[in-house]
Structure 1
Amino acid sequence: MNETENQNKYSCGIAPECFPCVVNHALSAARFAGLNEEQAKGIVEVAEAGLKESENSAILVQHVVRRVADAIIKAKGAPSSFDIYAEIKQTSNLLSLDYVESLQKKMENSISPLETGLQIAAAGNIIDFGAKDHASLNLEKELRSLENVPFTRYDLAAFKTSLKTASTLLYLCDNSGEIVFDMLFIKQLQREYPDLEIVAALRDKPIINDATLADAKTVGLDRLVTTISSGSIYPGTILAETTDEFQDIYAAADVILSKGQGNFETLLPLADKRIFFLLRIKCDYMAALSQVERDSLVLMQAPDKAAAEL
């Protein structure tokens, strides 16, 4: 099944507002990977071609980002499994682990440990080299400011109501480093909902700094809950392009917690009320879709079909 056929369920094409960000990401990624200027120009052309194609097809930003990554890997003469961001992902994981003790104490001393865990998990979504220029993200500074970002959409009551009767929770992970903060929240979920079965899904193949099963093993997430590959090779979850195993787990889940902008973009059109999106809104287009201010945190239950087609 090709990309266009797979997107029949989704909103068409790529929003014009996303074009500059996609091109900037391509150039930034090419330079981060150590390509020369001529090679970087070729990578930008790959992105621009994908954007042009999207004007008459239903391919998504995630497809273009994958094409860009594959083009960079090819330009470097590396194997297809090569992880462009391996070193910085490892740094993100290890640096985030340094914050576990202090954040755990913060949760324990909180009036509502669950809500504090939610804020920690959401604020951890800052660690995203897809949404920022690689040179502009000061990871240490961002991590120190975790508790200073407010929620401006907070569907907590609906989330708790869903959890009360849930037997299974599918937790869709996003970035490396960020999964450390997800672990803190998951531990609190396990304390408050001891009978809840939690499955964490990660990317199948390295893409930007998204977390894979290897990252889950590095931080110990695999020792906390069942971890699986979603089968996604994209910075998001395009359901039709995931594994049969993942689709079965998705279909059976009572509640789905979706982390990050890539998952938000790809799953929002499904209008599945089981989904709760937990993320930091990082651009004006996503702010318009979620109807909140840019750079704020949201816990948002998936809207109905009409809202999803904004």
Structure 2
Amino acid sequence: MKLTNECILCILNQTLNVCKTLNIDEDKTKEVLDEIASFVKEMKFDQTPPYVASFVYQKISKILNIEDLYSTQKELAIIKAKTLFEYTKDIVQNANDKLLFAIKASIAGNVLDLATPTNFCLDEEISKIFSNNFEIDNHEELKNDILIAKKIVYLADNAGENIFDNILLKTIKSINPTCKIFYATRSKPIINDITYHEALKCGHEEFAEVVDSGVDSPGFIFEKSTDKFLKLFEDCDFVISKGMGNFETLESYKDKKIYFLFKVKCNIVATHINKNVGDIICMKNI
């Protein structure tokens, strides 16, 4: 997906939200907004929103002298997710189609996103997601691929959301105990995405090997990754891509081995896939 004028407005709103969240004073906030406004007006529309956002957040961090802008919010999101984890896990374990429910559980956590214009409540999402249908549903194809896979790359997304990923990781291993799963994180703090060192504290290694993708953007970008991870990406049987950011950067990469799992949270993505804000998606790339 490519940058639009609406994306630029969203990035400016995100910039303001960062300053509000961190209680930055008015003068400093104006300095940040002026700097980001000058930067984004030079951006070209052949770039993806996450690519632009990676540089925007680097600039915000530099101006405010704060490396991890949302460190507190990430910690709180993980704590919140853990309070709902056992309840959600029990629902999945008692379901007839455990994979279907595990996918939905992992997508429920996708509402913990500080970079989208639409706000959702995690408690409400958990309470209703299991009765909602996928608006794009390729979960049977995903199940068939899991059954025969030897290596799976799982592109992680947000902090807090990652806790619910453990339910899906466990379910995948129950379907195919011998498959190797690589849980790939961001290399550095970017918005509220989960980083390598944060993921190591969240129990993923019971089901997968946590790996650093080398990427410091809120969406997987090949040019920002490492040779080691790119080889892993190339050699795996298929990729599970979580979240809108990863979708925005990878949907143009026409590789059928990528599955996108996310909740639609902005009008640009909704229009692009001809769905509505709030829809849940389990989509094989074509």
TM-score range, shorter chain: over 0.9
Matched, 1:131 2:124: no
Q: How much has 1:222 moved relative to structure 2? A: 2.9
What SS does the corresponding residue of 1:54 show, helix, strand or coil? coil
Tell me how far apart the structure 1 counterparts of residues 43 and 59 of structure 2 sit (CA, whole Å).
18
Q: How much has 1:147 moved relative to structure 2? A: 3.6
Cα shift readout 1:191-212 (whole Å, capped 9, x = no counterpart): 0111211100000000110001
Cα shift readout 1:249-298 (whole Å, capped 9, x = no counterpart): 00001110000011000011111110000000111110122222221100
Deviates more, 1:102-111 or 1:266-275: 102-111
Give the direction of change, closer, same or farther, for the CA distance of 1:280–1:137 in structure 2 (3 Å limit).
closer
Judge conservation of contact 2:108–2:122 (CA < 8 Å) in 1: no
Q: Where does structure 1 differ by over 6 angstroms across 4 or more consecutive aligned residues?
A: none
Q: How much has 1:62 moved relative to structure 2? A: 2.0
* From 45, 58, 76, the counterpart of 2:64: 76
Judge conservation of contact 1:169–1:196 (CA < 8 Å) in 2: yes
Q: How does 1:161-172 map to 2 (within 5 A)?
A: 161-172=144-155
Cα shift readout 1:132-179 (whole Å, capped 9, x = no counterpart): 47xx55555555554454311111222123223321110000000001
Q: TM-score with structure 1 length normalisation? A: 0.86
Q: How does 1:112-261 map to 2 (within 5 A)?
A: 112-132=97-117, 138-147=121-130, 149-261=132-244
Tell me how far apart the structure 2 counterparts of residues 104 and 217 of structure 1 sit (CA, whole Å).
20
Q: TM-score with structure 2 length normalisation? A: 0.93
The amino acid across from 1:63 in the alignment is Y
Deviates more, 1:258-267 or 1:83-92: 83-92
Corresponding residue for residue 8 of structure 2: 19
Judge conservation of contact 1:123–1:147 (CA < 8 Å) in 2: no
Matched, 1:274 2:263: no
Q: Aligned-residue CA RMSD in angstroms?
A: 1.9
Tell me how far apart the structure 1 counterparts of residues 242 and 17 of structure 2 sit (CA, whole Å).
24
Tell me how far apart the structure 2 counterparts of residues 150 and 240 of structure 1 sit (CA, whole Å).
35
Judge conservation of contact 2:112–2:160 (CA < 8 Å) in 1: yes
Corresponding residue for residue 30 of structure 1: 19
Judge conservation of contact 2:147–2:175 (CA < 8 Å) in 1: no
Tell me how far apart the structure 2 counterparts of residues 206 and 253 of structure 1 sit (CA, whole Å).
26
The amino acid across from 1:189 in the alignment is I
Judge conservation of contact 2:109–2:164 (CA < 8 Å) in 1: yes
* From 268, 282, 286, the counterpart of 1:299: 282
What SS does the corresponding residue of 1:98 show, helix, strand or coil? helix
Matched, 1:284 2:272: no
Tell me how far apart the structure 2 counterparts of residues 42 and 261 of structure 1 sit (CA, whole Å).
29
Tell me how far apart the structure 2 counterparts of residues 128 and 149 of structure 1 sit (CA, whole Å).
20
Tell me how far apart the structure 1 counterparts of residues 52 and 29 of structure 2 sit (CA, whole Å).
15
Cα shift readout 1:59-96 (whole Å, capped 9, x = no counterpart): 43223322332233223334xxx211111111111111
Tell me how far apart the structure 1 counterparts of residues 28 and 279 of structure 2 sit (CA, whole Å).
36
Corresponding residue for residue 90 of structure 2: 105
Corresponding residue for residue 35 of structure 2: 46
The amino acid across from 2:49 in the alignment is V
Give the direction of change, closer, same or farther, for the CA distance of 1:146–1:89 in structure 2 (3 Å limit).
farther
What SS does the corresponding residue of 1:270 show, helix, strand or coil? coil
Judge conservation of contact 1:43–1:68 (CA < 8 Å) in 2: no
Cα shift readout 1:14-44 (whole Å, capped 9, x = no counterpart): 1223122111111111222232222222322
Tell me how far apart the structure 1 counterparts of residues 226 and 206 of structure 2 sit (CA, whole Å).
22
Tell me how far apart the structure 1 counterparts of residues 239 and 224 of structure 2 sit (CA, whole Å).
18
Matched, 1:62 2:47: no
